[in-house]
């Protein structure tokens, strides 16, 4: 994917997504010993960066495809994002969700206009159900992270960040399914001279870290992390981009995620979800390496169940 | 106090306080049936609007007075605000705090450079202790809300809000000790044509509501509200301003405060304290009266113990 692909994508989706603010905090900078620029995708529509990729993927479909709608399986932010993106573009969204998904998540999808289809809570059932819907309705399946148009869309957050702060030394972002970091890596490649993209990943779901070492896509046998957005693994479309452009992934412990999250809440007075805290925790983890550097940190989202916090 | 007093105050404190952002939310507007403009003092230095008044009060002291420092008694936001304002202006701050104040609050004051003096947890002990310090050190006592220079400082938040949105129909703000609403009322009087200032107050500490009815300063025999910043009563300096310029106080139930707070957290992804939620709860309470109006809501602060939330 070229620089022009990314620029075109940005121009395409701009009317449908927020240009999110970049926040800074003297206190946090002091604590980190570096200059941090927080890209606040927690303020994005539907509360996470995911709407960028969802919007681009839908807009790249043909008129005929759009008329038949889109389908995905997700119990997280992509479910809400695809629903809202589809609503904005006046097309239909089918969202396959495991039957044990929290009611609050189902309601969020319904509120954004998505149609919820429940299935057994297994990966196989989710895929079978999504395939069935695609077949019977003609809807196009949109993968939450392993889709080139989704990856381009997610890269527009980094593009915005670099357009305001072109001299960043690093961008650190969470790594889950790989869509965000692949897109961000493309943005850094095309829109900066020297900015390196680094991933933050929970130790409890360090498939991407292991994938970079082994050179093939690894999975997690378990994923006991509060960063629920990062339990997934990389895909065939984003892994080659990540392999080429991302040279480092920093793993963090659960306690480090919680501490980082609480620090942001208390000091910056903004709500970020655990997955976002992983990126900031990674910066705190490797303070020596980041000392006095200019670092963009992508706050991927702010969808948290405030009735069930880790602190 | 004149328009010029307020303008001069603003110019004076500007280098020492943040110009806080005004945020909006389509979802919240839809819910409220009105156009809301949230003035985010939760993003202010030390996490609340209080630093505005504290800074102004200190700057209006003579050089000789400044050299001897300032003293106040507070277990809340003003303690932190005065400490930080004093630190920025390189003077000494003595903070009298009840011995049962949470450790986290004492630590916050210490972190901002204040000197903590503990006393018995009664109003009398607090005053005696503060008087003693003033006498022995020569420090000037600064009241958190009943001080004309503090009131002017607190009014600069409304001034900023009206300078960006001069056509507001209302500004709603929480009412506790009366400093914020008195200052805001002055700002509305001098910097708008028709903007009315309305107070939001917990039913459980509705002294200001009763004071407006009786025409004299009423107190609370109990104050069982989670809006801990609003448990205090009005004072001789701010009450005349409030009586003259504030025509309405809307009282809200504890459950309404919690619901309003959670709504802001979940939808706007920002952290506000219960006292701030009182103002928004007041808007939701009287939806009919506010229908389709342009309303400024002062989010007074964001200092919350995230380990002890009401939801």
ipTM, two decimals, is: 0.93
Q: What's the pLDDT score for residue B285?
A: 97
Helix/strand/coil (H/E/C) assignment for every residue in chain B: CCHHHHHHHHHHHHHHCCCCCEECCHHHHHHHCCEEEEEEHHHCHHHECHHHHHHHHHHCCCHHHHHHCEEEECCCHHHHHHHHHHHHCCCCEEEEEECCCCHHHHHHHHHCCCEEEEECCCHHHHHHHHHHHHHHHCCEECCCCCCHHHHHHHHHHHHHHHHHCCCCCEEEEECCCCHHHHHHHHHHHHHCCCCEEEEEEEHHHCHHHHHHHHCCCCCCCCCCCCCHHHCCCCCCCCHHHHHHHEEEEEEECHHHHHHHHHHHHHHHCECCCHHHHHHHHHHHHCHHHHCCCEEEEEECECCCCCCCCCC
Determine the Cα–Cα distance for residues B285 and B59; give it in Å rounded to an integer. Answer: 39
Query: Has residue B123 got a pLDDT over 90?
Result: no
Average pLDDT of span A170-183:
98
Query: Has residue A292 got a pLDDT over 90?
Result: yes
Query: Has residue A172 got a pLDDT over 80?
Result: yes
Report residue B137's pLDDT band, with 50, 70 and 90 as the boundaries. Answer: very high
Q: What's the pLDDT score for residue A102?
A: 80
pLDDT in tens, A189-207: 999 999 999 999 999 999 9
Closest-CA residue in chain A for B307?
A311
Report residue A271's pLDDT band, with 50, 70 and 90 as the boundaries. Answer: very high
Which residue in A39, A74, A75, A196 is the catalytic one?
A75
Question: How close A44 gets to chain B, by Cα (Å)?
Answer: 10
Q: Does B265 touch chain A (CB under 8 A)?
A: yes
Determine the Cα–Cα distance for residues A307 and B116; give it in Å rounded to an integer. Answer: 34
The CA–CA distances, whole Å, from A294 to A9, B92, B165 equal 27, 34, 34
How many Cα atoms sit within 13 Å of B278 on the Cβ side? 33
Q: Does A43 touch chain B (CB under 8 A)?
A: yes
B3-48+147-299 and B51-141 agree in CATH topology: yes
Average pLDDT of span B100-125:
90
Of A266, A302, A309, the CB nearest to B269: A302
pLDDT in tens, B234-248: 999 999 999 999 989
Q: Which of A38-42, A73-77, A116-120, A137-141 has the lowest mean pLDDT?
A: A73-77
Classify domain A51-141 by CATH architecture. 3-Layer(aba) Sandwich (3.40)
Question: How close B265 gets to chain A, by Cα (Å)?
Answer: 7
Report residue B75's pLDDT band, with 50, 70 and 90 as the boundaries. Answer: confident
Of B47, B269, B306, the CB nearest to A270: B269
pLDDT in tens, B30-59: 999 999 999 999 999 999 999 999 999 999
Name every chain B residue with its beta carbon within 8 A of the beta carbon of A262. Answer: 306
The angle formed by the CA atoms of residues B194, B51 and B307, to the nearest 5 degrees, is 105
Q: What is the pTM of this model?
A: 0.94
Mean residue pLDDT across chain A: 96
To the query of whether residue B62 is one of the catalytic residues in this protein, the response is: no
Q: Is the dihedral of CA A284, A288, A292, A295 positive or negative?
A: negative
Determine the Cα–Cα distance for residues A145 and A178; give it in Å rounded to an integer. Answer: 6
Beta carbons of B270 and A269 less than 8 Å apart = yes
Q: What's the pLDDT score for residue B14?
A: 98
Average pLDDT of span A73-83:
92
Beta carbons of B311 and A307 less than 8 Å apart = yes
Closest-CA residue in chain A for B41?
A269
Q: What's the pLDDT score for residue B28?
A: 96
pLDDT in tens, A87-112: 999 999 999 998 888 888 899 899 99
pLDDT in tens, B138-184: 999 999 999 999 999 999 999 999 999 999 999 999 999 999 999 99
Average pLDDT of span A19-32:
95
pLDDT in tens, A55-69: 999 999 999 999 999
pLDDT in tens, A115-146: 999 999 888 999 999 999 999 999 999 999 99
Strand A294-299 with B22-23, pairing: unpaired
Which residues contact residue A237 at a Cβ distance below 8 angstroms, ignoring those fewer than 6 apart?
Answer: A146, A147, A148, A151, A182
Q: What's the pLDDT score for residue B105?
A: 84
To the query of whether residue A50 is one of the catalytic residues in this protein, the response is: yes
Topology of domain A3-48+147-299, CATH? Rossmann fold (3.40.50)
Name every chain B residue with its beta carbon within 8 A of the beta carbon of A266. Answer: 306
Q: What's the pLDDT score for residue A22?
A: 96
Of B270, B272, B311, the CB nearest to A306: B311
What is the DSSP secondary structure assignment for residue A171, as one 8-state letter?
A: E
Q: Does B155 touch chain A (CB under 8 A)?
A: no
Question: How close A212 gets to chain B, by Cα (Å)?
Answer: 34
CA end-to-end span of chain A: 42
**Segments making up each domain of chain B, as ranges:** 3-48+147-299, 51-141
């Amino acid at each position: 994917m070229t620089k022009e692909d990314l620029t075109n994508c940005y121009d395409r989706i701009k009317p449908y997504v927020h240009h999110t603010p970049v926040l800074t905090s003297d206190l946090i900078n002091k604590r980190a010993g570096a200059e941090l620029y927080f890209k606040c995708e927690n303020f994005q529509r539907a509360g996470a960066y995911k709407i960028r990729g969802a919007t681009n993927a839908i807009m790249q479909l043909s008129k005929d495809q759009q008329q038949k709608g889109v389908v995905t399986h997700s119990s997280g932010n992509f479910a809400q994002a695809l629903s809202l993106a589809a609503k904005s573009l006046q097309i239909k969204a089918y969202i396959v969700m495991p039957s044990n998904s929290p009611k609050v998540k189902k309601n969020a999808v319904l509120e954004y206009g998505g149609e919820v289809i429940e299935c057994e809570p297994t990966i196989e059932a989710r895929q079978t159900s999504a395939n069935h819907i695609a077949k019977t309705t003609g809807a196009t399946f949109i993968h939450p992270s392993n889709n080139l148009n989704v990856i381009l869309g997610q890269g527009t957050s980094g593009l915005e960040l670099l357009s305001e702060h072109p001299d960043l030394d690093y961008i650190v972002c969470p790594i889950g399914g790989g869509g965000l970091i692949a897109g961000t890596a493309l943005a850094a490649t095309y829109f900066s001279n020297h900015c390196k993209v680094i991933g933050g990943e929970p130790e409890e779901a360090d498939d991407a870290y292991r994938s970079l070492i082994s050179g093939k896509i690894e999975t997690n046998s378990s994923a006991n992390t509060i960063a629920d957005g990062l339990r997934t693994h990389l895909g065939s479309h984003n892994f080659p981009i990540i392999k080429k452009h991302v040279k480092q992934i920093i793993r963090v412990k659960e306690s480090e995620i919680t501490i980082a999250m609480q620090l942001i809440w208390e000091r910056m007075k903004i709500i970020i979800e655990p997955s976002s805290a992983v990126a900031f925790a990674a910066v705190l983890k490797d303070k020596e390496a980041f000392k006095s550097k200019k670092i963009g940190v992508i706050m991927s989202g702010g969808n948290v169940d405030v009735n069930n916090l880790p602190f």
